[in-house]
Amino acid sequence: MRSGIQNEGNSFKRWLFRFGSLFWDSFGKDAQTQKYLHKIDLFILIYVMLSYLIKSLDNTNINNAYVSGMQEDLALYGNELNLFVTFFNMGYLSGSIPFQYIVSHIRPSIVVPSCELVWSGLVMLVASVKSAKSVYALRYFIGLVEAAAFPVFMQVLGSWYTPEELGKRVAIFDMCANIAAMFSGYLQAGLYTSFNGRGGLAGWRWLFIMDGVISFPIALLGFYCLPDFPTNTRARWLTKEEKEFSIRRFAAVGKKGPRKLTLRRLGQYVLSWRPYGCLCFVCTASGGDAPSASFNLWLKSLDMSVQKVNIIPTVANACAIGSAFVFGSLSDRTRTRWPWIIFGEFIRISGNVILAVWNVNYSSKFYAYLAPSLATFYWTLWLSWSQEAFQDDAEFRGLVMAGANTIGPVLGTFVPLLLFPTEQAPHYHYGFYAAIAFNTATIGSVLLFHILSKREAKRLGGVYNEFGLSVDPNYEAELLRESGIGTDGYHSHGEPIIEESSLGQKNAVTLSEKEVN
C-alpha cells in the first residue's frame, strides 16, 4: 500500500515537472542542472531585469514629466522634448565603443555597477534643473554612462545560457521596457498626487528623485550579482564545482570568452560582413514599427474619453510581453530563431496591409494596431540569434547590442516624422505602404543574415553542434585544458566534476525516477 502511494506520488511529481517544463526549461532537466539554473536565474537574470527596468523607466519618465508640469516650470514651448531624447542618444552613441573597450580590460562586474551609481546621481540631479540647457547636459551624460549596461547584459546572458535556454530569458529581459512603460504612468500619477509641492518640489521633480533612489541599491547589488564570464568569474555565490560546470557548458556550445578589444580588431570588423548584416536588419526592422505609435491617435479620432485613450493602448504592452515569452520559448524548444522572426514579420505585414486599406471594421483596425506588439518577439529573437551567430567573439556581440539599441530608437524617432506626420493622423497617405516595404525588406535582411553566417561558418571550417551552431572542433578540449578541467569528466587534479548529464544537453530533457526522487 505504501509503495503504491509512493509510486503515485512519483508519477504526479514527474507529471508536474513535465508540465512545468512547458513554461520554464529548468523543470525538464536533471536535479543538478535545475539547481544551477535556478541559481544563475536568481542572481544574473533578476539583477539585469531590475537594472534594465529602472533605466527604461527613466526613459519613459522624461515624457511623463514633460506633460506633468515640467513644460510649464521650465518654459519648454519649442522642440525641447525631442532634444532631450537626441542628447541622450548622442551620449549613448559616444559611450558605446569606448565602454566595450573598457570592459575588455576591466571586469564588467566593476564597470557596470560603477556606471549605475553615477547614473543614479545624474538622474536625481534632473530634479534640480532650472533650464532646458541643464537637462540637455544631464541627458547626454545619462546616455553616456548608460551605454555600458545593455550590451554587457546581453554579453553576459549569452555567455551563461545555452541556446535552448537563452530565447525566453532574453525575451523577459527585453520586455522590462514594456513593463516600465506600463508602470511609469501609474508612478507619475501617484507621485503627483502624494508628493506634488512636498519639500517645495513639483511632482515631476520627485519622479527623477525616486528613479535615482530606486536605482542606487540595484547598482550596489550589481557588484555582487554580476558574475562576468564563465572563464573569468569570481562570483562568490558560485561554488568551485559550479564554476567549472559553467566552463564546461560554455565550451560545449562553442562560446568563446572575452579578449582585449584593439584597434586592429575594430578594423577587422569594418572589413567583415558582420556589422553591415546587423545594420541592415536593424534599419529595416525599426522602420516597420512606426504605425504602432499612432494607436492612441486613432482611438482619439473615435471621440473616446481621455481615460480610454490612455488605458486601451496598454493592451499592446501586455500583448508584447506575452508574445515575447511564448515565441522565445518556442524558439528555444525548436533551437532555431530565424523562421520565427520571419513569421513575426508576416504578422506585422498583415497589420500594415489592413491599415493601408483603411476602410475596414473596428475589430480589424484594432488587430492591425496591435499587430506590431503581437510580433514584437521578432526583436528579442534577433537579440538571441545575434548572440549565437557571433558566439566566437564576445566583444563584437557587445558592439552589436550597443549599435542596435541606439540605431533602432533613433530611426524609430526619425521615420515617423517623414512618413507619419501628426497632421495626417490617423490615416496616413504613404506611411502604411512604406511600413509594408520595411517589413518585406526585413524578411530579406533575415534571409541574408542567415545565408552569410552559414557561408562564413563553412569558410572557417567549423562543425555544427546539436544546436545547429558552428563551432571549432578543437576549441572545447583546448578551453578545458586551459581551465584545468580534464576532458574525461575529471579535474586535472583527479576530482570528479558534476556529472555529464547535468550539462543540460541531450540527456536533460527526460527525468529518470531517481532524479524525481
Q: Using omega within 30 degrees of 0 as the cis cutoff, is the peptide bond preceding 113 cis?
A: no
pLDDT for position 441: 96
* Range ranked top by mean pLDDT from 18-32, 386-400, 492-506: 386-400
pLDDT above 70 for 306 = no
Domain ranges across the chain: 26-228, 262-460
pLDDT for position 68: 79
pLDDT for position 471: 66
pLDDT for position 505: 40
By mean pLDDT, which of 132-141, 244-253, 293-302, 441-450 is the weakest?
293-302
pLDDT (tens digit, 9 = 90+) per residue, 389-446? 888 888 888 888 877 877 776 776 677 777 877 678 788 888 899 999 999 999 999 9
State what percent of residues in the chain have pLDDT above 70: 81
pLDDT for position 487: 53
Show Cβ contacts of residue 464 under 8 Å, excluding neighbours closer than 6 positions: 457, 470, 471
Show Cβ contacts of residue 79 under 8 Å, excluding neighbours closer than 6 positions: none
Partners of 463 in beta bridges: 471
pLDDT for position 351: 93
| Total-model pTM | 0.79
pLDDT above 80 for 467 = no
pLDDT (tens digit, 9 = 90+) per residue, 270-303? 888 888 888 899 889 887 776 666 787 788 788 8
The SS3 assignment for 8 reads helix
* Cell matching residue 497: 566534476
* 262-460 maps to CATH 1.20.1250.20: yes
pLDDT above 70 for 4 = no
The SS3 assignment for 106 reads coil
pLDDT for position 57: 82
Same fold, 26-228 and 262-460: yes
Q: How far apart are CA 256 and CA 390, in angstroms?
A: 9
pLDDT above 80 for 3 = no
pLDDT for position 338: 93
* Cell matching residue 137: 547636459
Residue 399: what residue type? L
Which CATH superfamily is 26-228 part of? MFS general substrate transporter like domains (1.20.1250.20)
> Whole-number mean pLDDT of the chain?
81
pLDDT for position 472: 66
pLDDT above 70 for 239 = yes
Pairing outcome for strands 470-471 and 463-464: antiparallel
CA 310 to chain centre: 26
pLDDT for position 131: 93
Residue pair 438/345 in contact (Cβ under 8 Å)? The answer is no
Quickly state the pLDDT bin for 15 (edges 50, 70, 90).
low
Show Cβ contacts of residue 328 under 8 Å, excluding neighbours closer than 6 positions: 167, 168, 169, 170, 171, 172, 377, 380, 381, 384
DSSP symbols for 343-389:
HHHHHHHHHHHHHHH--S-HHHHHHHHHHHHHTTHHHHHHHHHHHHH
pLDDT above 90 for 123 = yes
Q: Write down how long the chain is.
A: 517
Q: Which long-range contacts (CB under 8 A, 24 or more apart) does 184-188 make?
A: 184/57, 184/60, 184/61, 184/64, 185/64, 185/310, 187/57, 187/61, 188/61, 188/64, 188/65, 188/68
CA 7 to chain centre: 43
Q: Given 3-state DSSP classes, what are the helix, strand and coil percentages for the chain, each rounded to the nearest 5?
A: 75, 0, 20
Q: How far apart are CA 93 and CA 87, in angstroms?
A: 10
Count, in order, helices (H) and strands (E) of the chain.
Answer: 24, 2
Residue pair 247/492 in contact (Cβ under 8 Å)? The answer is no
By mean pLDDT, which of 83-92, 130-139, 171-180, 345-354 is the weakest?
171-180
Q: How far apart are CA 215 and CA 119, in angstroms?
A: 8
